[in-house]
Amino acid sequence: MKTSLATVTLSGDLLEKLEACAAAGFHGVEIFENDFLLSDRKAGEVRQIAADLGLEIIALQPFRDFEALPDEMMANNFKRARRKFELMRELGTNKLLICSNVSPHTIDSTDKAAEDLHKLAQMAAEYGMQIGFEALAWGKHTYTYEQAWDIVSKADHPNLGIILDSFHIYARHSNLELMKQIPADKITLVQLADAPDLKMMDVLQFSRHFRCFPGQGDFAVVEFMQVLKQLGYNDYVSHEIFNDEFRASSARAKAVDGMRSLIWLEDQTRAQAPHIEVKNTSSSHAPAATDLDIAFVEFAIEEKSGQPLVTLLDQLGFTETHRHKSKNVSLYRQGGINLVINKEIESIAHTHFLLHGVSVCALGLGTPNPQQMLDRARHYLCPEFRHQTRPGELNIPAIKGVGDSLIYFVDNSKGAAQQSAAAQQAFYDVDFNEIADASTGAGLKRIDHISQTVTPSDFLSASFFYKSVFNFNCDLNQDLNDLYGLVVSKTLTNADKRIRIPLNMSASIETSAQRFMRQSKGSGFQQIACECDDIFAAARRVDQRYVLQIPANYYEDLDAKYSLPAEQLAQMQALNILYDRDAKGEFFHFYTKEVHGVFFEILQRNGYERYGEANAHVRMACQTKEYKERQERINALLQNN
């Protein structure tokens, strides 16, 4: 598979886009005409820059409103086309992409459209060029690929073929039956785009704002690729994405996302249809994602500003059980939960602290095969990170995660045959000295989920990072009501749900999510949810000064909704415990107040499988109230001083 990306997909000027495509490893680019028009580079210069970067300019696009116009208008169209062919010769490309006419003057006649395209193909042949015709999903008369193929077939010229664009096909709810009959040599180019399943939206607005890379949406892009393979198509596949978030993001980061998407798409096609021969692609397969769990969560802090977090951990029943042999790093444990508190000045954690303040800087994922997970991460283009360690210390492999966080791969294969005795030990048994036994504390036993708040421009990228690299399942988006806007949430889980990562984002500047983003100066882990067996015992263990206070009105509504026993409801109100119920069971949970924007949730599941989304608006409103009260106290102190 030869890979390309249309420059319209990325932010920046033409040179920035070309450099981003080359850095991500694409073989070619489609030049979007506006990108060239706004560049101060001549066509010959662009051709040379692309060649120096190792990129082939595979097409110029789009050529609009050409076919099936009255004869008096067609003369100018052929004049325009000749100028484009001359430009293409200078650019060093031989494909011109024509999208179906949207002009109100276009004639509803496939015969006329075919006649005009045949004449254009004749002109293209004089220049040694190829024409690709594409049905825009909002075309005036031609808006499905079936109609476009009918016109191309009637035109019957060797220099004319069809463009197959997954977005336009699926946006019009077309099936792939006709596509299976199109000869591969009549496909001029394949363009790829996914999109969320947004029903009843104007198709033009849908196209202009909601396209995304394959795997980031809901379209059947794997089936689309399977059909191409069965046809024997062996040329370029190219991303053409119109998306507001993409154009607000780093061109280089989005180009890497695009290449990761194509790798994922190839892997999925191979996995679901192993009998299909895959050509012109790497022979390497993605190593399987091994069984994973959360080995540790690491906080970057310093002594003074980090003390409120340490105090909160003590309230929640965590014990400092280990200290690092050579670094200012402590381990706090309870049940199966490991929280690393890193105060080391000479560390990547301290750099994270300088950038983001007291914050979660890393997540450790336990796996029976760290090298296999590292190889999988490399396969999906994840930057690797390795520590400087002293002799005898573990050098745990890591990759760059979302934002500035790291993800470590920790060997959890106890009992298996290993290369060394150290590999059979927990990470803290090798690098740390034990100073105390872990107590039962508040009865917390494991991390149930850990939520990450990201920028709107990182939302698709972050969800696809977990989906591709870790093979996580991805839920549909949910809208959560904040007092000052909407928070969009999507949960990613591994197969056995030992790891659950809700992703949250908001474009509304006063929501709790945006408040966290301002405080932490970027994307980060905001919530750590810990499971217990007795929520009431856990809540009694924590001083209520550290617990998020819930209004009495909530409990009156809860009583009306569920008719809970009066004594139980009174205890819940006294301890600020929230409640939800579904067909499979009950859910009890309470929240701590925020410390540097981060908060803990303590929960008890009795068969319940969701996350208490019904109470999300309560939590966010109470957090906002608590934040405002804290700010008022700070302002009062400042005024008094």
Distance of alpha carbon 516 from alpha carbon 596, whole angstroms: 8
Beta bridge partners of 481: 486
**How far out from the chain centre does Cα 568 lie?**
41
Distance of alpha carbon 586 from alpha carbon 558, whole angstroms: 13
* Strand ranges (E), 184-266: 187-192, 236-239
Residue at token pair 């990547």: 348
Residue at token pair 């024509």: 98
Binding residues for a divalent metal cation: 134, 165, 191, 240
3-state secondary structure of 618: helix
Binding residues: 134, 165, 191, 240
Distance of alpha carbon 569 from alpha carbon 258, whole angstroms: 51
Distance of alpha carbon 112 from alpha carbon 447, whole angstroms: 65
DSSP 8-state symbol, 109:
-
Distance of alpha carbon 514 from alpha carbon 511, whole angstroms: 5
Give every CB contact of residue 67 below 8 A, 6+ residues apart in sequence.
98, 100, 101, 106, 112, 113, 116, 117, 120, 133, 151
Beta bridge partners of 524: 453
* Residue positions counted in the chain: 641
β pairing state of 500-505 and 485-493: antiparallel
A 10 A CB-CB count for 626 gives 15
DSSP 8-state symbol, 235:
S
- State the Rg of the chain over Cα: 29
DSSP 8-state symbol, 282:
-
